[in-house]
Structure 1
Amino acid sequence: MKIETYLIVLLSGLTLVIAYPMEPDTYYCGGKPADVYFLVDTSTSIWGIDFLKQLDFIANVIEIFDVNPDRTRIGMGLFANDFYPQFSFKDYTNKSEIIQVVKKTEHRLGGTYTAKAIRRMREEAFAPNVARQDVAHIAIILTDGKSMYPEKTAAEAKLTKDKGIYIFAIGIGMKISMSEINNIASESEDPKAKFAFHLADFDALASIQNILAIKTCLIVPKDQPRCPTTKDSDIIFAVDPLVMGDVRTNIIKEFIANTADQLDVGNNKPIRIGVFINNCPSSKDIHLNAYQDKYALMQQLRSNDHVIENHILRKVRRRAFKRSNGGRADARRLVVTFLDGPLENPKDVFVEAQKIRKFGADIFVIAIGNEVQEDELKVLASGKPKEHIFRVTNYETLKTAFNDFVDIICEFL
């Protein structure tokens, strides 16, 4: 006996009902291992009874998954004025227990601050020390209205997808902006691989639960480097907290972590990344061979505090590419440094930069803001300025500029 699942989609004022015949034995999906996170709108516009329908939908989708620590893990958060995490991938491993927790979730009230919720989900729920790094990362977002800041929502969704997280976006009701739902959702060249849904009302959630679960089960991990290469490259990032300050240094460290996430990084990979922070000898630099994979590097960048000394390029020249610190004799050598104003001792810095270049390394400069001196940039950077100087207008822009920077250095890897 075949069971038909009906998908109700509202397009240009017309309600389409599409039947998907499925064999009963395809309903239970073991699939590949995955970490699946439900991000659920709990704003004031959603009535209590409709909020419960969302919870029933989530419980029914979870029922289809093969939930256990080695297969599918589940997390869940709510959003309105803020992001309200309910449980993480590590909290529960028993399917029945998860479903009970889901059904007991309390309805909150507030606005639709979707951008904030997506950002915190990405940073917290899918943090390297929470989500597994060798499985598919999937977010399922349910909402009934336009977000408070659609442009920010689209930007945060893009950052999330760039990190390798697949997003299913489900818009419910007549107040939905389908263009925003499409901006949130992942894309696919396969027209059958649908990530965006628009349902007429909350009752229609039941019509897509099996389809959504099956699609989720078929997703494979997304960890393809932005610029694949087989040539060895050693990249050193040089950061000076004495000049930048703690807040800006943390933004730079996050930028480096996101850059590493786009590359094929690791001790047994083509690319190794080291990070030298201008600090006292007792503090830890990150050498090229410090971590086996990029995820441990990213976690360290996001958690490590550093103290201060001086002359970061001198330290890079003397220590960074040593064999004992992971340097490889035949690897391409790149040094990336950051400037947001005039150099304090430009002559000394230029001497160190020249020595680094004689050592066979290219120097790239990331220029932040409009207070950087053009003549200093041209002396500090290697080669043609257009190829070795990467400019951003401010630190806020730097947060999302890592893909563009990766595209530039890919030419040299």
Structure 2
Amino acid sequence: MIVEDASTSIGQANWNIQTRFAADVANAFTVGPNDVLFAALIFNRNVTRNFNFNTYTNKADVVKALLSIVYPYNPGTYTHLAFSEIRTKNLFGTQWGGREDSKKVVIVLTDGQSAYPDKTITESQLLRDTGVLIISVGIGVTNTAELEAMASKPEYVFTTGSYETLDYIKNDLVQLACKN
């Protein structure tokens, strides 16, 4: 599942780079009903589910859907709400196209500290307690403590200095997600 920070601090130009990166990550997988499935949501002060695991079952449609997510221009980095939505609505559940026997991986992309770090850390732990692996990607983030607290393991944290250098971590991120 791709979880994207859509707060106003990102801006349209960086949003375009971020969504292209998410699409490139999806494009690196074999997507299909018996292979990898994707879901996506964005968060700011609200959470918007863009698509579920059973919405698209081929790579071309997943990539197109990720690229078509509209930047909402809403303030707030309420990361905890995204984690809560995934957990409380059971977004990895079979009713949303999830498979009981598959690995459950969240890749969260963010450009900064959340509005409520304590809630974010608590919600990420509650989500991890359900068996979900969280990979944190910080873009231009200088304080990585929250990214590390969100991620399932220290090696599940990726940082890049800017949106322009996001592609440098893609291969390592894909390898890690494939391994899990």
Q: Normalised by the shorter chain, which TM-score bucket?
A: over 0.9
User: For residue 106 of structure 2, what is the aligned residue in structure 1?
Assistant: 139
Question: What's the CA shift for 1:128?
Answer: 4.8
Write out per-residue CA displacement over residues 36-75 of structure 1, whole angstroms, 9 at most, x where no aligned residue: x000001010011100111111111111101001110000
Question: How is 1:77-116 mapped onto 2 (pairs within 5 angstroms)?
Answer: 77-108=41-72, 109-116=74-81
Corresponding residue number in structure 2 for 1:179: 145
Q: Which of the two has greater strand per residue?
A: 1
Residues 138 and 158 in structure 2, CA contact (< 8 A), matched pair in contact too: yes
1:62 corresponds to 2:26: yes
Amino acid at match of 1:104: S
Q: Distance in 1 between matches of 2:87 and 2:165?
A: 28
Q: Using the TM superposition, give the Cα deviation of residue 78 of structure 1 relative to its aligned residue in structure 2, in angstroms.
A: 0.4
CA–CA distance in 2 between the matches of 1:128 and 1:92? 14
Equivalent residue, structure 1, for 2:176: 215
SS where residue 67 of structure 1 aligns? coil
Report which of the two structures shows the higher radius of gyration computed on alpha carbons.
1
TM (norm. structure 1) is: 0.42
Using the TM superposition, give the Cα deviation of residue 127 of structure 1 relative to its aligned residue in structure 2, in angstroms: 3.1
Partner secondary structure for residue 107 of structure 1: coil
Alignment correspondent of 1:39: 3
- Secondary structure of the 2:32 match is coil
Matched ranges for 1:112-131 at <5 A: 112-124=77-89, 125-130=91-96, 131=98
Identical amino acids, percent of aligned pairs = 31
Q: Secondary structure at the match of 1:72?
A: coil
| 2:126 matches 1:159 | yes
Q: What CA distance in whole angstroms lies between the structure 1 residues aligned with 2:61 and 2:149? A: 34
Q: Does 1:170 align with 2:137?
A: yes
Q: Structure 1: how far apart are the matches of 2:138 and 2:149? A: 12
**Whole-Å separation in 2 of the counterparts to 1:162 and 1:80:** 24
Q: Which protein is richer in helix relative to its size?
A: 2
Structure 1 runs not aligned, ≥5 long: 1-36, 189-193, 220-413
**Cα distance between partner residues in 2 of 1:183 and 1:128:** 28
Residue aligning to 1:276: none
Q: Secondary structure at the match of 2:115?
A: coil
Q: CA deviation at 1:98?
A: 1.2
